[in-house]
């Protein structure tokens, strides 16, 4: 018994460490978005503020970066999912003896460093551009085009891996059945294979978008006049960052959590509906299926609703909350601290210079009354941690 | 109902590399027939079906459907519909969409498709199940949906690739009757692939027995069962007792066979081999378990077999007696249970009698694997 509980305890301990390792940086970074100092940090906590969000949305370069990232993301999704699907289909059709070789070739871009892909994309298309006798401002040297092409070289391989996994579970007899019933190959593809692949296509699209969005190595060579978000962030970091970047991180984290929960809730709901359908008799089916309540037995949906409520609360707080008073208070505090320090120094100097002079004490008396509410912030040690 | 569209295989050869899957198949299938290809797995029967449906081009020879040569015509242009072994229902489509898939291809409106699907659902006794997904149906129901889907395409020839093999025994027997009824109702040609001789015998108008790419015999169920052309056909279809030996004398359509273990026995030469066998040939003689009757002790002659009883079992509708000796390793005799008192013969020697018309002689050949 003792051993068992110890084991259980250590499992929990391990889980705690694991999740702290995974999520700790994200949580801390998110928290810094709400603290007022100019540099992202959580200690000392000064004032709850939302100004970094407005600062973020006023930063032209960040906004432009997001726009470019989204455009490139969508372009990459279209190109790499299409190429990935073609590659996956070919893998199932190709002569078995060639399959291993083909697989290696098509997987190779994942193993090649992104930097190399970036440089080679740039060099290759520059050659093509010159061969065609086009100028430096042609379509082929456009930053968006090059970045989409460059990223797709390896993201298409990721997509192919996702699609191959689904395709392996596809029964070729389904295509044959469609053909046998009179469908052309194109119809069989569109009406039977494609619907079957849809979940994997969605996964591949999400994966491709995320991989494109976060890519830096390849993009850094190809972006031209269209810097993506990661490029902008990297350039910003060089000159020092503000909590506005934390605010961006927070938004991305919230969106991710939201999307993940929504997806989970949807899957759970489908399972519940399916279970309900299977349990229902024919009569019930005829009358239309009684859907279970959206939330019953669906933990993900509950979490989703909670996150939504939390988001609404935060937004409402943000619109009503004014950190001005707090910031003023903090400023006042800092001013007082500085003054106190000056006075202390002055007192020390005065004490050293003329110990018999007692009139200064009378002047200090009102100040100490004022400061009584601030606890030990006037401790000289506390000062050293700030500024 | 019209007579239906016939199918002909003319000197059909199908090779995969060095492997010959089908060897010189010549088959004529009458329009409106329920025709079965019967054989063990790997005998090439599915290959023939794929050649008829158009998924496979024959290496040599022709497939004719309704007299029209199908060379170069793809599966989607042939007047055939195939029912796959695993049914291959489209998992993401509802039952009615599955059934009306061929109409969707032709651009029929949803209302038309729905109407036709509902008619077919009534025909296969699944009314009101159109809005379910195939995964929500039972095995037998899925089976019938697959048939309805194939029939919706209004094929001239329906091809069935062991469609009952995935079902349990009860359902399989039920579906046999149902398939036969559906075939009679729609009146089109059914080509049925099976390794189950029970299915072939109960449903078919005509059967082709296949072995290793070769068609051994074509005939109706009775001919195949009572008058097998080869040792393989005799041993594959139904149970049979085999006696190996040499032909001693031939008179008319009867032959006296010197069997290795049971002395000289008379048997009828199977129709396909009459006039082709001569004295001194290696031959195999077959007598069905149910063709034996227990004879009085000590009876002797060329249609009596004496052997020692090894064990007996009671099967409800019959008694089975397993005997040592005989032509093969073991001799099986089935006595129908007609309420007679049946005493245990275990360990005793028993004399059995058979009628010559119920025995058959074929040239020695390969037997079906147990």
Within a domain: residue B138?
A: yes
Residue A223 shares a structural domain with residue A255: no
- Using the 3D structure, point to which of B226, B248, B272 is the last residue of a domain: B226
Greatest mean pLDDT among A58-67, A275-284, B56-65 lies in: B56-65
- Mean pLDDT, residues A220-231 taken together: 86
* Tally of domains in chain A: 3
Q: Per the CB < 8 Å rule, is B153 touching A192?
A: no
Name the band, by pLDDT with cuts 50, 70 and 90, for residue A386: very low
pLDDT given at position B176: 87
* Gyration radius from chain B CA atoms: 24
Q: Is a pLDDT exceeding 90 seen at residue B277?
A: no
Q: Which residue of A has its CA nearest to B159?
A: A180
Q: Is a pLDDT exceeding 80 seen at residue B358?
A: yes
Residue B256 shares a structural domain with residue B199: no
Residue B220 shares a structural domain with residue B245: no
Q: Beginning with the edge strand found earlier in the chain, give each strand of the sheet holding B34-38 in spatial order.
A: B80-83, B157-161, B189-194, B34-38, B206-211, B214-219
Residue B67 shares a structural domain with residue B114: yes
Cβ-nearest to B82 among A171, A180, A192 = A180
Q: Which residue of A has its CA nearest to B93?
A: A192
ipTM score of the complex?
0.79
Cβ-nearest to A181 among B81, B128, B132 = B81
What are the pLDDT digits (tens) for A279-307?
665 555 555 444 455 566 677 777 888 88
pLDDT given at position A13: 94
Contacts of B117 in chain A (CB under 8 A): none
What are the pLDDT digits (tens) for A101-112?
988 888 888 888
Residue B251 shares a structural domain with residue B280: yes
Within a domain: residue A70?
A: yes
Within a domain: residue A49?
A: no
Give me the CATH number covering residue B353.
2.40.50.100
Q: Give the range of the structural domain holding residue A357, as residue numbers without chain letter.
A: 336-385
pLDDT given at position A281: 53
For residues B65 and B53, the answer to whether their CB atoms sit within 8 Å is no
Contacts of B256 (CB under 8 A, 6+ apart): B247, B248, B249, B250, B264, B265, B266, B302
Question: What whole-number distance in Å separates Cα of residue A359 and Cα of residue A369?
Answer: 18
% pLDDT > 90, chain A: 19
Cβ-nearest to A184 among B55, B76, B104 = B76
What are the pLDDT digits (tens) for B72-116?
888 888 899 999 888 889 988 999 999 999 898 888 888 989 999
What are the pLDDT digits (tens) for B290-301?
888 888 777 777
Q: Which residue of B has its CA nearest to A277?
A: B136
Q: Is a pLDDT exceeding 50 seen at residue A385?
A: no
Q: Is a pLDDT exceeding 70 seen at residue A381?
A: no
Name the band, by pLDDT with cuts 50, 70 and 90, for residue B320: confident
Within a domain: residue A351?
A: yes
Question: What whole-number distance in Å separates Cα of residue A84 and Cα of residue A164?
Answer: 9
Residue B271 shares a structural domain with residue B333: yes
CB of A193 within 8 Å of a chain B CB? The answer is no
Residue A368 shares a structural domain with residue A291: no
Residue A88 shares a structural domain with residue A213: yes
Residue B14 shares a structural domain with residue B151: yes
Q: Per the CB < 8 Å rule, is B90 touching A180?
A: no
- Using the 3D structure, point to which of B226, B253, B275 is the last residue of a domain: B226
What are the pLDDT digits (tens) for A92-133?
888 888 888 988 888 888 888 989 999 998 889 888 888 888
Residue A143 shares a structural domain with residue A185: yes
Task: Tell which wins on pLDDT, B307 or B166.
Answer: B307
Contacts of A183 in chain B (CB under 8 A): 76, 101, 105
Question: What whole-number distance in Å separates Cα of residue A109 and Cα of residue B139?
Answer: 45
pLDDT given at position B3: 65
CB of A196 within 8 Å of a chain B CB? The answer is yes
Within a domain: residue B369?
A: no
Residue B159 shares a structural domain with residue B257: no
Q: Which residue of A has its CA nearest to B97?
A: A191
Q: What count of other Cβ atoms lies within 10 Å of the Cβ of residue A184?
A: 14
Q: Per the CB < 8 Å rule, is B128 touching A174?
A: no
pLDDT given at position A296: 62
- Mean pLDDT, residues B187-201 taken together: 89
Name the band, by pLDDT with cuts 50, 70 and 90, for residue A141: confident
Residue A317 shares a structural domain with residue A193: no
For residues B158 and B52, the answer to whether their CB atoms sit within 8 Å is no
pLDDT given at position A363: 52
- Using the 3D structure, point to which of A191, A218, A241 is the last residue of a domain: A241
Q: Give the range of the structural domain holding residue B67, as residue numbers without chain letter.
A: 7-226
- DSSP sequence for A222-260: H-TT---HHHHHHHHHHT---HHHHHHHHHHHHHHHHHH
Residue A237 shares a structural domain with residue A255: no
Three-class DSSP category at B304: strand
- Max CA separation in chain B (angstroms): 79
Q: Phi and psi (nearest 5°) for B35?
A: -110, 130
Within a domain: residue B178?
A: yes
Question: What whole-number distance in Å separates Cα of residue A225 and Cα of residue A231?
Answer: 11
Within a domain: residue A14?
A: no
pLDDT given at position A369: 46
Shortest distance between the Cα of A170 and any Cα of chain B, in A, equals 11
pLDDT given at position A368: 47
Shortest distance between the Cα of B129 and any Cα of chain A, in A, equals 8
Within a domain: residue B231?
A: no
Name the band, by pLDDT with cuts 50, 70 and 90, for residue B253: confident
Q: Which residue of A has its CA nearest to B134?
A: A278
Task: Tell which wins on pLDDT, A366 or B297.
Answer: B297
Within a domain: residue B167?
A: yes
Q: Is a pLDDT exceeding 60 seen at residue A380?
A: no
pLDDT given at position B343: 74
What are the pLDDT digits (tens) for A320-353?
777 677 777 878 888 888 888 998 898 888 888 8
The model carries a pTM of 0.72
* Tally of domains in chain B: 2
Residue A204 shares a structural domain with residue A343: no
For residue B322, what are the β-bridge partners?
B311, B332
Q: What count of other Cβ atoms lies within 10 Å of the Cβ of residue A31?
A: 16
Name the band, by pLDDT with cuts 50, 70 and 90, for residue A163: very high
Distances (CA, A) of B53 to B10, B46, B123, B200: 15, 10, 25, 20
Contacts of A184 in chain B (CB under 8 A): 76
What are the pLDDT digits (tens) for B254-276?
888 888 777 788 888 888 888 78
Residue A226 shares a structural domain with residue A250: no
Contacts of A239 (CB under 8 A, 6+ apart): none
What are the pLDDT digits (tens) for B28-42?
998 888 999 998 888
Residue A235 shares a structural domain with residue A104: yes
Q: Per the CB < 8 Å rule, is A181 touching B80?
A: no
Residue B66 shares a structural domain with residue B188: yes
Residue B200 shares a structural domain with residue B256: no
Q: Which of A177-181, A307-311, A324-328 has the lowest mean pLDDT?
A: A324-328
Q: Which residue of A has its CA nearest to B158?
A: A180
Residue B249 shares a structural domain with residue B301: yes
Cβ-nearest to A171 among B75, B86, B128 = B86
Residue with tokens 């705690």: A16
Within a domain: residue A93?
A: yes
Shortest distance between the Cα of B155 and any Cα of chain A, in A, equals 9
Within a domain: residue A44?
A: no
Within a domain: residue B232?
A: no
Within a domain: residue A43?
A: no
- Mean pLDDT, residues A1-25 taken together: 87
For residue B336, what are the β-bridge partners?
B318
Residue A96 shares a structural domain with residue A214: yes
Residue B74 shares a structural domain with residue B11: yes
Contacts of A263 (CB under 8 A, 6+ apart): none
Residue A358 shares a structural domain with residue A218: no
Within a domain: residue A21?
A: no
- Using the 3D structure, point to which of A241, A265, A289 is the last residue of a domain: A241
Residue A235 shares a structural domain with residue A267: no
Size of interface A-B (CB pairs under 8 A): 65
pLDDT given at position A356: 63
Within a domain: residue B81?
A: yes
Tell me the average pLDDT of chain B. Answer: 86
Tell me the average pLDDT of chain A. Answer: 81
Contacts of A193 in chain B (CB under 8 A): none
Q: Is a pLDDT exceeding 80 seen at residue A387?
A: no
Q: Is a pLDDT exceeding 50 seen at residue A148?
A: yes
A residues 274-313 near B, CB within 8 Å?
277-278, 282, 285-286
Residue B33 shares a structural domain with residue B168: yes
pLDDT given at position A53: 82
Contacts of B252 (CB under 8 A, 6+ apart): none
Residue with tokens 């066998």: B277
- Mean pLDDT, residues A9-30 taken together: 91
Cβ-nearest to A173 among B54, B88, B129 = B88
Question: What whole-number distance in Å separates Cα of residue B206 and Cα of residue A121?
Answer: 67
């Amino acid at each position: 018994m003792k051993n068992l509980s110890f084991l259980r305890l250590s499992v929990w301990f391990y889980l705690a460490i694991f999740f702290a390792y995974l999520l700790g940086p994200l949580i801390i970074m998110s928290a810094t978005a709400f603290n007022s100092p100019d540099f992202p940090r959580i200690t000392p906590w000064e004032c709850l503020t939302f100004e970094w969000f407005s600062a973020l949305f006023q930063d032209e370069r960040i906004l432009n970066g997001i726009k470019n990232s989204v455009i490139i993301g969508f372009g990459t999704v279209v190109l790499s999912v299409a190429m990935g699907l073609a590659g996956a289909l070919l893998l199932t059709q190709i002569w078995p003896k060639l399959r291993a070789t083909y697989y290696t070739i098509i997987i190779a871009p994942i193993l090649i460093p992104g930097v190399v892909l970036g440089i080679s994309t740039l060099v290759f298309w520059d050659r093509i551009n010159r061969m065609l006798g086009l100028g430096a401002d042609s379509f082929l040297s456009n930053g968006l085009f090059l970045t989409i092409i460059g990223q797709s070289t390896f993201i298409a391989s990721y997509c192919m891996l996702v699609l191959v996994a689904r395709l392996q579970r596809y029964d070729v007899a389904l295509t044959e059945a469609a053909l046998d019933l009179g469908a052309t190959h194109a119809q069989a593809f569109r009406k039977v294979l494609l619907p079957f692949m849809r979940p994997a296509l969605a996964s591949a699209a999400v994966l491709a978008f995320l991989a494109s969005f976060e890519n830096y190595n390849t993009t850094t060579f190809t972006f031209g006049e269209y810097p993506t978000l990661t490029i902008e962030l990297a350039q910003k970091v060089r000159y020092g960052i503000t909590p506005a970047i934390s605010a961006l991180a927070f938004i991305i984290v919230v969106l991710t959590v939201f999307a993940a929960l929504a997806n989970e809730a949807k899957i759970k709901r489908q399972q519940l509906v399916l279970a309900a359908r299977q349990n229902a008799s024919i009569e019930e089916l005829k009358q239309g299926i009684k859907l279970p309540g959206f939330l019953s037995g669906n933990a993900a949906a509950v979490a989703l609703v909670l996150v939504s409520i939390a988001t609404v609360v935060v937004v409402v707080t943000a619109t009503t909350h004014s950190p001005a008073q707090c910031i003023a208070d903090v400023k006042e505090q800092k001013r007082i601290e500085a003054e106190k320090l000056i006075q202390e120094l002055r007192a020390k100097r005065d004490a050293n210079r003329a110990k018999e002079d007692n009139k200064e004490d009378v002047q200090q008396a009102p100040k100490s009354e004022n400061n009584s509410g601030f606890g030990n912030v006037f401790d000289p040690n506390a000062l050293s941690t700030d500024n | 109902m019209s007579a239906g569209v016939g199918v002909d295989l003319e000197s059909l050869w199908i090779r995969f590399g060095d492997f010959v899957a089908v060897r010189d198949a010549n088959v004529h299938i009458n329009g409106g027939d329920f025709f079965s290809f019967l054989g063990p797995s790997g005998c090439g029967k599915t290959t023939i079906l794929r050649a008829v449906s158009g998924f496979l081009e024959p290496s040599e020879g022709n497939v004719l459907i309704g007299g029209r040569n199908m060379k170069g015509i793809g599966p989607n242009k042939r007047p055939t519909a195939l029912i796959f072994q695993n049914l291959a229902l489209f998992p993401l489509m509802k039952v009615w969409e599955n059934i009306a898939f061929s109409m969707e291809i032709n651009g029929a409106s949803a209302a038309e498709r729905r109407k036709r699907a509902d008619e077919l659902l009534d025909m296969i006794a699944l009314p009101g199940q159109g809005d379910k997904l195939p995964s929500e149906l039972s095995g037998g129901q899925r089976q019938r949906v697959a048939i309805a889907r194939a029939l919706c395409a209004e094929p001239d020839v329906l091809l069935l690739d062991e469609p009952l093999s995935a079902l349990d025994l009860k359902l399989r027997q039920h579906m046999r009757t149902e398939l036969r009824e559906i075939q009679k109702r729609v009146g089109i040609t059914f080509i049925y692939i099976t390794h189950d001789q029970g299915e072939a015998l109960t449903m078919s108008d005509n059967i082709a027995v296949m072995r290793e790419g070769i068609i051994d015999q074509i005939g109706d169920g009775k001919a195949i069962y009572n008058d097998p052309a080869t040792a393989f056909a005799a041993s594959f279809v139904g149970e049979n007792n085999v006696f190996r030996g040499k032909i001693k004398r031939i008179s008319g359509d009867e032959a006296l066979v010197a069997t290795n273990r049971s002395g000289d026995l008379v048997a009828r030469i199977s129709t396909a081999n009459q006039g082709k066998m001569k004295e001194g040939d290696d031959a195999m003689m077959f007598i069905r378990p149910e063709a034996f009757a227990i004879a009085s002790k000590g009876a002797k002659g060329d249609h009596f077999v004496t052997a020692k009883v090894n064990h007996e079992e009671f099967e409800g509708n019959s008694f089975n007696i397993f005997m040592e000796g005989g032509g093969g390793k073991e001799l099986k005799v089935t006595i129908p249970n007609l309420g007679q008192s049946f005493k245990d013969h275990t360990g005793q020697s028993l004399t059995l009698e058979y009628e010559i018309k119920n025995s058959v002689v074929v040239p020695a050949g390969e037997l079906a694997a147990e």
